[in-house]
Amino acid sequence: MEIKQRGVTVWFTGLSGAGKTTISHLVEKELRTQGYKVEVLDGDVVRKNLSKGLGFSKEDREENIRRIGFVAHLLTRNNVIVLVSVIAPYQNIREEVRQMIENFVEVYVNAPLEVCEQRDVKYLYKKARAGLIKNFTGIDDPYEPPSNPEVECRTDQESVTESVKKVLDKLEMLGYFVQ
Ligand code: ADP
């Protein structure tokens, strides 16, 4: 039997290497296991199709986020749980997207720059420090932290399991798991 569900966009924002992909994939896995309809919009994947050709200037970053926000809005209003995992460094555009989407939960995936740089999951920090990548968030491009996120995961201080649980608990508390 298909379960009833309310749509919601869970928006993971944070520096590269903070843990957005790791947490969102585990949340996705758990929700699918429970039978929910879930879609993931991951920054790296989106930039290869929906936002192909866009760069990393402020304008292009904003356009990228608007496109993702629009798709998330369409899915959310059709009762899908949408997990968005993108750096989305600018506060104003995240707010714009929040206004566009009826049910919106912001997750600030927070680890200090030093920790993200130390992890350097994709060796991007090394490249940015060497000047091979320009406009890299945290190095030579800004990141504006959310002022009032629904959830904050301090991934330098908590385990992946704890971070995932925080997100699921919040969704439960907000009533998104109606069965
Ligand atoms: P992002 O998607 O934000 O660029 P990734 O998920 O690709 O980041 O990488 C985050 C790295 O941090 C992974 O290697 C992950 O195992 C590690 N990590 C350590 N603690 C946590 C945590 N609590 N939550 C998420 N990731 C964590």
Whether the predicted pLDDT of 1 surpasses 70: no
Q: What is the pTM of this model?
A: 0.95
Provide the CA 142 distance to its chain's centre, in angstroms: 17
pLDDT band of 179, cuts 50, 70, 90? low
Tell me, yes or no, whether 146 lies in a domain: yes
The neighbouring-strand residues paired with 103 are none
Q: 136: domain range?
A: 8-172
| pLDDT > 90 in the chain, percent | 95
- For the Cβ of 43 lying below 6 angstroms from any atom of ligand 1, the answer is no
Domain-embedded: residue 1: no
CATH number of the structural domain spanning residue 68: 3.40.50.300
When divided into structural domains, the chain yields a total of 1
Q: Which atom of ligand 1 is nearest to the CA of 122?
A: 7
Within a domain: residue 78? yes
Residue 178 lies in a domain: no
Residue 3 pLDDT > 90: no
Pocket test residue of 40, 121, 137, 159 for ligand 1, highest count of atoms within 8 A of CB: 121
Per-residue pLDDT, 2: 66
Whether 87 is in a domain gets the answer yes
| CA 82 / ligand 1 centre spacing (Å) | 19
Q: What residue owns the CA closest to ligand 1's atom 11?
A: 19
Structural domain includes residue 89: yes
